[in-house]
Amino acid sequence: MATKKAATRATKRTPRRSVLSDEIYDMIKAMIFDHEIAPGSRVNIDSLSVQLEVSQTPVREALARLESDGLIAKEPLKGYKATELLSIKELNDLFQFRLLIEPWAAEQAAKLIDNTGKTALKAEMQSAKTALKFAGDGQFQALTEHDSRFHTLISSISGNHTVADFYERTHCHLHLFRLYMANKLHRIDGESRAEFVQDLFEQYYQSGSGQLAIKEHDAIAKAILDQNPKAAKSAMHAHIESSLKRFSPKAAAAQK
């Protein structure tokens, strides 16, 4: 049964058309999220090449991209391995970092936004409405992708390339989605940590009958589009701080 399942999965991963590096990248990324490649495990280029029925070149290219995403790590003389899931402390530290830079970025974006930026921001908020039409895990993935694009766009509109670059390097929402998938697949060790992660996602995207994160994004976007720097800074600070407050009690409990 297990062998048949593995064979089916390998077949599903096999490219049906001419192989593109983007296709191989997406396949290996999916394997990481599905825990076919477990956190911390070694990644064998030869094995992946055989499984995906491609040469080593597109596999190496994909691994290099995944390394820049923070999903793969390359160790001297050892090769590649999948990175570990974020710990609770690392997740908390990440949100503290965001709390320091993103309110400033929103403030600057409100000062500097032009017509091109306004068009892009309005389009991104429209994509949030589209994401809400999905169901189950599909909705969560769509909301996470919107979340990432929204915050990346604001850091870009801020005009400070260093801030935008450092924010993008955190790959915050990519790591959040990976944690979400690990929780769904029951791959998180420790009852307190599992409860913490479950609570994080339930509280982060949902509140009552609506999606809280999207409502908070609306407030941030409106302030930036109105070119109100003070309101934009305040709305962004409230958004990230409320996220921290919603799961920090469980984070503290899980670290004991």
Instruction: Show the DSSP H helices in the chain as ranges.
Output: 2-13, 21-33, 45-52, 56-68, 88-112, 115-131, 136-157, 161-170, 172-184, 191-205, 212-225, 229-254
**Residues forming a β-bridge with 75:** 79
Res 94 pLDDT > 50: yes
What pTM does this model have?
A: 0.76
Strand-pairing partners, residue 74, are 80
Cα–Cα distance measured from residue 78 to residue 245, given in angstroms and rounded to the nearest whole number: 40
Give the pLDDT band (50/70/90) at residue 14. Answer: low
pLDDT of residue 40: 92
Average pLDDT, the chain: 83
- CATH class given for the domain over 88-254: mainly alpha
User: Does residue 193 surpass a pLDDT of 80?
Assistant: no
Which pLDDT tens digit goes with each residue over 150-180?
999 999 999 999 999 999 888 888 888 888 8
pLDDT confidence bin for 210, thresholds 50/70/90: very low
Q: How confident is the model at residue 198 (pLDDT cuts 50, 70, 90)?
A: confident
CA distance 103 to 220: 10
pLDDT bracket for residue 86 (50, 70, 90): confident
Say if residue 80's pLDDT is above 50.
Answer: yes
Q: What share of the chain in percent tops pLDDT 70? A: 83
pLDDT of residue 248: 55
pLDDT score, position 171: 87
**Which of 108, 106, 86, 84 is CA-nearest to residue 95?**
86
- List the one residue out of 171, 183, 193 whose CA is nearest residue 97: 171
Give the C-alpha separation, 80 to 74, whole Å: 4
Give the model confidence (pLDDT) of 29-42 as tens digits: 999 988 899 999 99
Domains of the chain by residue range: 2-82, 88-254
| Span 101-148, pLDDT tens digits | 999 999 999 999 999 999 999 999 999 888 888 877 788 788 888 989
238-250 residue pLDDT tens:
998 877 776 555 5
Query: What pLDDT shows up at residue 247?
Result: 55
The pLDDT score that the predictor gives to residue 158 is 97
CATH architecture of 2-82: Orthogonal Bundle (1.10)
Say what the pLDDT of residue 18 is: 46
